[in-house]
Amino acid sequence: MTRHTQPEPCAPEQVTFELNGDVISQWVSPATTLLDILRGSGRITSARAGCRIGRCGACTVLLNGQAVPGCLVMAWQVSGGTVETVEGLAEDPDFVQVRDALATESALQCGYCTPGIAVSLVSGLRQQQNGDVVDLEEAVTGNLCRCTGYGGLKRAIAVLTEASSET
């Protein structure tokens, strides 16, 4: 395939990145959002469009290990990177810990916001393991939840914080 020296407005580009352990490659316009790529892939439903402007956190995924809103990441920024969603975290010890805390403390109702919250908490736990001081309640301030009033989430975070201070 010949490369345009002056790209045509609509020229799609090949974006290659690692998604939950698989290398995937897709021809897209470079400004396409990661959220659209993931949902359009047909294999990711955990990242959701709640606002598309970075303001709700329902689209949160891990990009190179850090929680980001997928609606604000453009395809060109993902190239060569690693993306993780809850679909790929089932065996991840941090995720398992987060999942159990959310479940036992009933930190969810409709659950629409929950994968995004779980990803933000996993990111927070990983940062803590890297020696950063991270308050998990701060780690979820970018995730809106309309059902629960965050009561169960507060209790789940208390459980996680206690667990991490013990280790």
Partner 1 sequence: MELKPQPGMAGTGVLERIEGRFGYATDQHHLPGLLHGAILRSRHAHARLLRVDTSRARLMPGVRAVVTAADVPGLNRFGIVVRDQPVLCEDRVRYEGDAIAAVAADTVEQARAALEVIDVDYAPLAVVDQAETAEQMSPLHGESNLLAREAFERGDTDAAFARCEVIVEHHYQTPRQMHAFMETEGGVAIPDNNGGVIFRVGCQSGHRDAEQLADILGLKPSQVTVEATPTGGAFGGKDELTIQPAAGILALQTGSPVLIHLDRFESCRTGIKRHPVSMIMTTGCDRQGRILAHRVDALLDTGAYASLGPAVLENFLDHATAPLYRIEAYSVSGRLVYTNNGVSGAFRGFGGNQATFAVESQIDALAEKLAMCPMELRRINLRTVDEPGSRGQVVRWTAPPSNVLAEAGASPLWAPAGSDLRRRWLTGTGMAMGAQGNGLGDGLPDSGGGRVSLTAEGRIRLEFGFSDYGQNLAEAITCLVCETLGCVAGDIDVVLGNSRGPDSGPTSASRSSVLIHGVLADILPRWNDCVRDQAAALTGLPRDQLHSGPGGLFAGGRQVLSYRELAEKGQPEQTLIDASQAFPVAPEGNQPVGRYLQLQISTVARVAVDRLTGRVRVTDLHHITAAGRVIYPPGYLGQIEGAAIMGLGMALSEDMPTRQGHYLADNLDQYIIPTMQDVPDQRVDVLDNTPTTDRFPVRGVGELGIEAVAPAICSAIEAATGIRVRHLPVDAGYLLAELCAQEETCS
Partner 2 sequence: MSDSLSNLNPVTARRAIRVLRPDSPDQAVSLARQFSASYTAGGTWLQPTHERDQCWPETLVALNSSWPGFRGLDAGPNGLTVGALTSLAELARQALIRDYLPPLAMFLNRVAGPGVRTLGTVGGNLIVGGDLSALAMALDVRVDVINHTGERALPFSRWLRERASDDLLRGFTIPDCRGWRISLEKLGYRERFSPTRATLACVHDGDRVRLAVSGEGGLLRLVATETFVNDRADLASGDVGAVIDRELAAHGWQDAHLRMALRRMTTELLSEVALGT
Residues near ligand FAD (CB under 6 A) = 53-55
User: Which is closer to ligand FES, CB of 81 or CB of 142?
Assistant: 142
Where do the H-state alpha helices sit in the chain? 34-40, 75-78, 93-104, 114-129, 136-139, 151-166
Taking the alpha carbons at both ends of the chain, their separation in whole angstroms is: 54
Q: How far is the C-alpha of 92 from the C-alpha of 66, rounded, in Å?
A: 15
User: Which is closer to ligand FES, CB of 12 or CB of 54?
Assistant: 54
Q: Taking CB under 6 A as the rule, which mask of x and - marks residues 20-39 in contact with ligand FES?
A: --------------------
Q: Tell me the two tokens of residue 96.
A: 């398992």
Cβ proximity of 17 and 81 under 8 Å = yes
Closest approach, Cβ 108 to ligand FES, in A, equals 4
The reply to whether 150 sits near partner 1 by the rule CB under 8 A is: yes
20 binds, among partner 1, partner 2, ligand FES, none (CB under 5 to 8 A by kind): none
115 binds, among ligand FES, ligand FAD, partner 2, none (CB under 5 to 8 A by kind): none
Binding part of the chain for ligand FES, among 50-58, 87-95, 119-127, 155-163 by CB under 6 A, reads 50-58
Angle between helices 93-104 and 151-166 (to 10 degrees): 140
Q: Tell me the two tokens of residue 29.
A: 């316009």
